A and B are shown apart, each in its own frame.
Chain A
Amino acid sequence: EAGVAQSPRYKIIEKRQSVAFWCNPISGHATLYWYQQILGQGPKLLIQFQNNGVVDDSQLPKDRFSAERLKGVDSTLKIQPAKLEDSAVYLCASSPRRGGPLHFGNGTRLTVT
């Protein structure tokens, strides 16, 4: 089975610019997650979708971050405007249902200068 696809792999932007990341989960997986992993830390959940509805976005900085999952398949995560502290790896993961092992993509490494 094809894994979770993410793009781009790397992105370098200046602070106050905007950026968008894309994720294509494993086919048939209803649940999709975006995690932020800052160097030296564990992944932090930003948002969790069940099909195209939001289950949890309590840790998403909504003044600058937004995410959508149209049609319950692909998802995009946007940051506008970016801050230096947004430098991190953004991991997308999916699972067939809520809970259980997640399948992670290779992530997008964002550097904000």
Chain B
Amino acid sequence: EDKVVQSPLSLVVHEGDTVTLNCSYEVTNFRSLLWYKQEKKAPTFLFMLTSSGIEKKSGRLSSILDKKELSSILNITATQTGDSAIYLCAVEAGTASKLTFGTGTRLQVTL
């Protein structure tokens, strides 16, 4: 069974801090790893990482895939209160391209 584990489960930081969220996986026939941000409603897509694209950056957010260690990190620099959310890691695997999610990391950014 495919498995995705995220750490930490929750995190409280002050505005302006830099945070690193972790995701590790055990899947059969890895295809890609995706990061989503979930506020009160639907998860919204942040990044997709594959064997041919192991590093992505958008503004203050960046992510790296380590295929050797079967893991990924999501970095957020100069955090803002608007970054408060649950960050979900998901791994796509198998012939059906099934997407398995981790439990998520709840980030709270305080003033």
B76-111 toward A: CB 8 Å interface, digit per residue (1/0)?
A: 000000000000101010001111111110000000
Contacts A42-B104, A43-B101, A100-B48 known; A48 to B42 CB distance under 8 Å?
Answer: no
Contacts A100-B32, A100-B48 known; A106 to B101 CB distance under 8 Å?
Answer: no
Q: Is the CB of B88 within 8 A of A99?
A: no
Q: Is the CB of B103 within 8 A of A55?
A: no
CA distance in complex: A43, B101 (Å): 6
Let me know if B64 is at the binding interface, CB within 8 A. no
Q: Is the CB of A43 within 8 A of B88?
A: yes
Residues of chain B lying within 8 A (CB to CB) of residue A102: 43, 45, 99
Q: Smallest CB–CB gap between A52 and chain B, Å?
A: 16
Q: Is the CB of A105 within 8 A of B96?
A: no
Q: Is the CB of B88 within 8 A of A42?
A: yes
Contact of A106 among B32, B41, B92, B99 (CB under 8 A): B41
Residues of chain B lying within 8 A (CB to CB) of residue A61: none
User: Interface on chain A toward B: helix, strand, loop, or mixed SS?
Assistant: loop
Q: Is the CB of A99 within 8 A of B42?
A: no
Instruction: Give the size range of B's interface with the partner.
Output: 20 to 34
Contacts A104-B43, A107-B41 known; A56 to B98 CB distance under 8 Å?
Answer: yes
CA distance in complex: A35, B97 (Å): 15
Let me know if B34 is at the binding interface, CB within 8 A. yes
Residues of chain A lying within 8 A (CB to CB) of residue B44: 104
CA distance in complex: A40, B34 (Å): 19
Interface residues of B in 48-93 (CB under 8 A from A): 48, 88, 90, 92
Chain B residues at the A interface, C-beta cutoff of 8 Å: 4, 6, 31-32, 34, 41-45, 48, 88, 90, 92, 96-104
User: 22 A-B residue contacts at CB 8 Å?
Assistant: A33-B99, A35-B101, A41-B103, A42-B90, A42-B102, A42-B103, A43-B101, A44-B101, A45-B100, A48-B98, A56-B96, A98-B96, A98-B97, A100-B48, A100-B92, A100-B97, A102-B45, A102-B99, A104-B44, A105-B42, A106-B42, A107-B42
Chain A residues at the B interface, C-beta cutoff of 8 Å: 4, 33, 35, 40-45, 48, 55-56, 91, 98-107
